[in-house]
Structure 1
Amino acid sequence: MKAMILAAGKGERLRPLTLHTPKPLLRAAGVPLIEYHVRALAAAGFDELVINHAWLGQQIEDYLGDGARFGVRIAYSPEGEPLETGGGIHRALPLLGDAPFAVVNGDIFTDYPFAALRRPLSGLAHLVLVDNPVHHPSGDFRLVDGKLAAAEGDAPCLTYSGIAVLAPALFAGCTAGAFKLAPLLREAMQQGQVSGEHFAGSWIDVGTHERLADVERLLARGA
């Protein structure tokens, strides 16, 4: 199974740090955020990675290179401008092949065991959900008997972690350009084609200076 790290975001809420450094290369405990993903995926048995990038993306390629020093092979999918999550993955499909692949947002920090993703996919997608963080209290999706469903009334929801396994068929009929992933997932959910799991370990959406500091504190505790 191949894995894709989404690294095309501009990181505007992390300015001025991201004015001259792409968000995935911001450091926590002296290590770029994206390097934690690369090393964790390699340790989980993923040896072929695809990374998309846009803002200052050449810096990502210069730092990670072909992946050899991490024990992986890295292919890059550069974007002239951000294509949103759906459009970015769609553009990279020729590099990802015909089999289901893992996807990891480049701007999260987690100890999720990526090896758990290396299993047969039933349906079009499998999403990892986490408890709702303070900045997103309403969550995204309901998890019912291992299947994902859209938010409904006051039913409790969980938050999409930015970790998933997707089948290329999820993008059938899509055309090149910028588009979001969520509408494709919701359509697949209505067909009962999206499974999910609840992960209760460490997870931080590194979108602000405060949450980057949270990662630093987590690492300082030896987590």
Structure 2
Amino acid sequence: MKAMILAAGKGERMRPLTLTTPKPLVPAAGKPLIEYHLEALARAGITEVVINHAWLGQQIEDHLGDGSRFGLSIRYSPEGEPLETGGGIFKALPLLGDAPFLLVNGDVWSDYDFAGLNAPLQGLAHLVLVDNPGHHGRGDFRLADGQVSDGDEAPGTLTFSGISVLHPALFEGCQPGAFKLAPLLRRAMAEGKVSGEHYQGHWIDVGTLERLADVERLLGERV
């Protein structure tokens, strides 16, 4: 299985750090955030990774290179302008091939074991869901009997972790350009083609300096 890391965001809420450093290279406990993902992917036996980028993206390529020092082969999908999540993935599909691929947001941190996702995909997507954090109390989706449905802000919703397995067929009919991933997922949910799991380990959406500090605190506790 190949993997894609989404790394094209500007990280505006993490300024001034992201004025001169792309968000995936912002360090947590002395290591760039994206390196935690790369190391976890390598541990899970994944060897081929695609990374999209836009804001200060050349810095990402210069820092990570071909990925060999992580035991990986990294290819890049540069975007002249950010294409949002769906558009960015669609642009990178030629690098990802025809089989289901693992997708992870570059701006989350988790101790989730990616090896658990290297199983046959039933349907068009498999989502890892987590408990709703304080900054996203309404959640995203509902999970019942292993199937994911649109949460519609109802009680019992969970938050999409930004970790998933997607089938390229999810993007059938899409056109190049900027578009979001969520409508494609909701369409597939309506067809009963999205499975999911509830992960209750450590997970942080590193969207602010305060949450970056939370990651560093957790990492410090693990030393």
Equivalent in the alignment of 1:65: 65
In 2: Cα distance, 1:177 partner to 1:6 partner: 16
Percent identical? 73
Question: Does structure 1 retain, via aligned residues, the 8 Å contact 2:139–2:153?
Answer: no
In 2: Cα distance, 1:74 partner to 1:153 partner: 38
| SS state at 1:192 partner | coil
| SS state at 1:104 partner | strand
- Over 4 Å off, 4+ runs: none
How far off is 1:156 after superposition?
Answer: 1.1
Pick closer, same or farther for the CA change 1:153–1:9 going to 2, 3 Å. closer
Q: Quick one: which amino acid aligns to residue 82 of structure 1? A: P
How far off is 1:222 after superposition?
Answer: 1.1
Greater fraction helix: 2
Equivalent in the alignment of 2:208: 208
| SS state at 1:157 partner | coil
| SS state at 1:75 partner | strand
Structure 1 unmatched ranges of 5 or more? none
Is 1:128 the counterpart of 2:128 in the alignment?
yes
Is 1:83 the counterpart of 2:83 in the alignment?
yes
Offset from partner CA, 1:46-102 (integer Å, 9 cap, x none): 000000000000000001000001100000000001100000000000000000000
How far off is 1:152 after superposition?
Answer: 4.1
In 2: Cα distance, 1:153 partner to 1:183 partner: 16
In 2: Cα distance, 1:92 partner to 1:152 partner: 30
Q: Quick one: which amino acid aligns to residue 123 of structure 1? A: G
Q: Quick one: which amino acid aligns to residue 20 of structure 2? A: H
Offset from partner CA, 1:126-163 (integer Å, 9 cap, x none): 00000000000010000011000112463310000000
In 2: Cα distance, 1:186 partner to 1:144 partner: 15
In 2: Cα distance, 1:106 partner to 1:153 partner: 26
In 2: Cα distance, 1:74 partner to 1:8 partner: 15
Scaled by the length of structure 2, the TM-score of the pair is: 0.99
In 2: Cα distance, 1:146 partner to 1:210 partner: 33
**Number of corresponding residues:** 223
In 2: Cα distance, 1:73 partner to 1:154 partner: 42
In 1: Cα distance, 2:170 partner to 2:91 partner: 13
Counterparts of 1:117-196 in structure 2, within 5 Å, are 117-152=117-152, 154-196=154-196
How far off is 1:170 after superposition?
Answer: 0.1
Offset from partner CA, 1:93-127 (integer Å, 9 cap, x none): 00000000000000000000000010000000000
In 2: Cα distance, 1:138 partner to 1:92 partner: 31
Q: Quick one: which amino acid aligns to residue 115 of structure 1? A: A
How far off is 1:165 after superposition?
Answer: 0.2
Alignment RMSD (CA, Å): 0.8
Q: Quick one: which amino acid aligns to residue 178 of structure 1? A: A
Structure 2 unmatched ranges of 5 or more? none
Q: Quick one: which amino acid aligns to residue 143 of structure 1? A: L
